[in-house]
Amino acid sequence: MKFIFTSFLVFISPFLGAQNLCLTAEKTLERIATNESYRIEMQRLDSLSMSFKEGRISSESRDVKQYNIPVVVHVLYEYEENNISPEQIHAQIDALNRDFNWEQSDKDKIPGIWQGIGKESGFRFHLADKDPNGDFTTGITRTKTSIKGIGSTDFYYNKQRGGINPWPLPHYVNIWVCALEGNLLGFSYLPSNSVEPNDGIVIDPRAFGSIGTAQSPYNLGRTLVHEMGHYFGLRHPWGNEEGSCTDSDYMNDTPWQREANFGCKNFPTISCSSEPDGDMFVNFMDYSNDSCSLLFTKDQVNFMQLIIRTSKVTLLHSPAITGMGEESINSRIAIYPNPSSGVFQADFFEDNSTPFEVKDALGRTVQSGIIESGNKIDLTRFDDGMYFLVSSFGVQKLMLKKG
């Protein structure tokens, strides 16, 4: 059976077996079957991918640019246990930023032949600090639901039916953390201009972040790294047609691969006559355990950069993140030391004073008043963690670490 995104004839795979961890390809086919404009969008993505593969589009950026990407995490839980902590969410965002920037500390586990194949993307993910109304947010929403396995239903993105509506797609990457049925870990929608409320990423809490509900072997935050790869246009290494050796992921620097690899494979693992090196089972877009899921290739990074500069470019013009440090805020206010063990010094670059609030990781106001340049903000009596200084200068993240 041949799956082609551009085909009018769409077959739904009968092989949604126990070993399917990611439902992106199936979700894509499902949406193509019912949505003509999405079908056209996927056709466009296919031809863009083909032009990239054939070298007709140069996507290599001249310098390492920082792409700041706003994220909102919608926690949707039936049981309190899945109402995951801010720390678990922050750990997941850290994992994304690590793996998208070639900062993995476990790179030594990559087989020698591929040690040099990765590349820093410059993608920096930030929890949004402005909600769609322009008000302060922690970048996390929390909703209790009574629907079992809501991530496997069409309700997760629908407030009326027990889910939570997405925030505007042009300005936020929406991530729903909610229960999925079976051993499915997650799915994402591929990039398009066909705006639908289900667009975004769904992850099961068992595979989200590295602490709390995250369970081995999917507890290094790499399910979201994989799904974020799809979100920026990457396919599985076997293409859409698992079991063949004829369908491409459009990346020239990933070898042909017959089917998904699970667990932790030994090098080399040969399929599709790919001797001597075999499958790149350490690729984030394969299904290996998190501990053996280790890299994006240069082509994959270049392609994602192409997508962020084209169909996802509105994310880079989002008003949703103001507290990033090096931009607007730091040109008007300096907070130091940060992290601090309790007392933060606030210096303004212009003579000024401003009302301020300090909010905790759950968005609750824990302190407020007026600050002037040279004042100190004392958080000594609070617990360690992330806080937000909200003032007319925007939002500044404060890290409190007493130890």
Minimum CB separation of residue 271 from Ca ion in Å reads: 12
Count residues binding Ca ion (CB under 5 A). 3
Minimum CB separation of residue 175 from Zn ion in Å reads: 15
Residue 340 site contact among Zn ion, Ca ion, none (CB < 5 to 8 Å, cut-off depends on kind): none
**HSE-CB of 397 using CA atoms within 13 angstroms:** 21
- Identify which of residues 129 and 259 has a Cβ nearer to Zn ion in the complex: 259
Q: Is 78 a catalytic residue?
A: no
Minimum CB separation of residue 247 from Zn ion in Å reads: 14
Roughly what angle, to the nearest 10 degrees, separates helices 36-53 and 298-309?
130
- Identify which of residues 237 and 323 has a Cβ nearer to Zn ion in the complex: 237
| 300 part of the interface to Ca ion, by CB under 5 A | no
Minimum CB separation of residue 249 from Ca ion in Å reads: 5
Minimum CB separation of residue 252 from Ca ion in Å reads: 6
Which residues are 391's β-sheet partners?
356, 394
Residue from 254, 283, 322, 396 binding Ca ion (CB under 5 A): 254
- Which residue's Cβ lies closest to Ca ion? 254
- Identify which of residues 239 and 394 has a Cβ nearer to Ca ion in the complex: 239
- Identify which of residues 127 and 228 has a Cβ nearer to Zn ion in the complex: 228
- Identify which of residues 119 and 359 has a Cβ nearer to Ca ion in the complex: 119
Q: How far is CA 194 from the centre of its chain?
A: 20
| 297 part of the interface to Ca ion, by CB under 5 A | no
User: What is the number of other CB atoms lying within 10 angstroms of the CB of residue 394?
Assistant: 20
- Which residue's Cβ lies closest to Zn ion? 22
C-alpha dist (Å) from residue 339 to 30, 139, 296: 47, 20, 31
- Identify which of residues 42 and 140 has a Cβ nearer to Zn ion in the complex: 42
Task: State the SS3 of the chain.
Answer: CCCCCCCCCCCCCCCCCCCCCECHHHHHHHHHHHCHHHHHHHHHHHHHHHHHHCCCCCCCCCCCCCEEEEEEEEEEECCHHHCCCHHHHHHHHHHHHHHCCCCCCCHHHCCHHHCCCCCCCCEEEEECCECCCCCECCCEEEEECCCCCHHHCCCCCCHHHCCCCCCCCCCCEEEEECCCCCCCCEEECCCCCCCCCCCCEEECHHHCCCCCCCCCCCCCCHHHHHHHHHHCCCCCCCCCCCCCCCCCCCCCCCCCCCCCCCCCCCCCECCCCCCCCECCCCECCCCCCHHHCCECCHHHHHHHHHHHHCCCHHHHHCCCCCCCCCCCCCCCEEEECCCECCEEEEEECCCCEEEEEEECCCCCEEEEEEEECCCEEECCCCCCEEEEEEECCEEEEEEECCC
Q: Which two tokens stand for residue 215?
A: 């369970």
Residue 22 site contact among Ca ion, Zn ion, none (CB < 5 to 8 Å, cut-off depends on kind): Zn ion
Interaction mask 190-229, Ca ion, x per CB under 5 A: ----------------------------------------
Minimum CB separation of residue 300 from Ca ion in Å reads: 9
Residue 254 site contact among Ca ion, Zn ion, none (CB < 5 to 8 Å, cut-off depends on kind): Ca ion
Residues 6+ apart with CB under 8 A from 340: 379, 398, 399, 400, 401
Catalytic residue among 81, 103, 227, 350: 227
| 280 part of the interface to Ca ion, by CB under 5 A | no
Minimum CB separation of residue 248 from Ca ion in Å reads: 6
- Identify which of residues 222 and 235 has a Cβ nearer to Ca ion in the complex: 235
Which positions touch Zn ion (CB under 5 A)? 22, 24
- Identify which of residues 189 and 348 has a Cβ nearer to Zn ion in the complex: 189
Minimum CB separation of residue 148 from Zn ion in Å reads: 24
| 251 part of the interface to Ca ion, by CB under 5 A | yes
By the criterion CB under 5 A, which residues form the site for Ca ion?
A: 249, 251, 254
Active site residues: 227
